[in-house]
Amino acid sequence: MTELPARRLLLVHAHPDDESINNGATMAKYAAEGAHVTLITCTLGERGEVIPPALRHLSGAGLAEERERELAAAMKALGVTDHRLLGRPGRYRDSGMMGTSDNDDPDCFWRADLDEAAGHLVEVIREVRPQVLVAYDPDGGYGHPDHIQAHRVAMRAAELAAGAGESIAKVYWNRVPRTVVEEGFARLRDALPELPFAEVAAVGDVPGVVDDERITSAIDGTAYADAKIGAMRAHATQLEVAPEQPYFALSNELAQPLFTTEYYELVQSLVQSSVNSGRGGATESDLFEGLGL
C-alpha cells in the first residue's frame, strides 16, 4: 500500500450532497494542502426528491445510480480521490424522512445493525488511520433518520477502533453558529428579488445550528468557494445553486445561504488544544491543531 500523507481526515455522511453542503470547502482546502481526505457515504439517497423536471422520472435504483455519478463528479470538483460507500454500494438504502413507511424497510440504513454498520467503518479507519473524524451531532443536524444513524455509526466505529488500538485523536460534529446563519438569511432576504427563488427558508431549516459559544473551530474556505459551489452543482438532482450568488435551494425550493467558512464543535480530543469546548466560541482555524503535523 502506498504510504499515506501525514494528515488524514475522515468524514461520514448520510447521502450524496450532504458532504458538499456541510464540508465542501473544508474538504477542498485539505485536499489541496496535501492531506488525505476520505469520505464515507452511508446511502445513495434512493428516496430523495428530484428537482429538475427532466430528471424526475428517476427513482429507486435509477436515482441511486445517478446520485452515485453526481457524487463522483462532486469529489472531482473538490479534489478528493478517496470516497466510498459504507460496506458496498447499495448495502444500505435511504430510509426516507422520519415517520414515513420507508423507515420500516428492513434494508434501510435506519434499520441497520449498529455494530455491523460500524464494523464496515472500522475497516476504513484501520486502513486510513485518520487523526480527525467529522460526523453529525446526535440529532443528525436536523432529525433525518439516516443522519441520526450516521452519527451513531461514526461514534460507535470510533469507539470500536479505539478498543482495537486505532484511536482517532480528534472528533468533530458539523455545526453552524446561530449569528452567522441569521446574518446570512438577512443578506439573502435583501438579495431575493435578483435570485431564481421565490421564498426563503428559515434558520431552523439549516442543519446543526447552535449558539455561537458551542463552536470551537472555524475553517475559512473562502479560497475554495468555487470548488464547493462546483461540487454542489454536481448534485443536480438535489440542489439548485444560484448563478454567481452564494445561495442554494433543496427540493423544497426555499433559498438558503451557502457558507464557505465551515464550522465545527470539537467533542472528543486526545491532544492538548487551545479549544475550551463549549466556552468562548471558535478558537481553532485548523482541524489538525495540536497534532504537530
Q: Is 12 helix (H, G, I), strand (E, B) or coil?
A: strand
Q: What are phi and psi of 262, to 5 degrees?
A: -115, 145
The three-state (H, E, C) secondary structure of 156-225, written as one string: HHHHHHHHCCCCCCEEEEEEEEHHHHHHHHHHHHHHHHHCCCCEECCHHHCCCEECHHHCCEEEECHHHH
Is 147 annotated to bind ligand? yes
Cα–Cα distance list, 8 to 35, 131, 172, 184, 255 (Å): 6, 6, 14, 31, 34
For residue 257, the surrounding DSSP H or E stretch is strand 254-257
- Sheet of strand 240-241: strand arrangement: 199-200, 254-257, 247-249, 240-241
Is 15 annotated to bind ligand? yes
Q: What DSSP string describes 32-80? A: HTT-EEEEEE----TTPPP-SGGGTT--HHHHHHHHHHHHHHHHHHHT-
* Residue numbering of the annotated binding site for Zn(2+): 15, 18, 147
Annotated binding site: 15, 18, 147
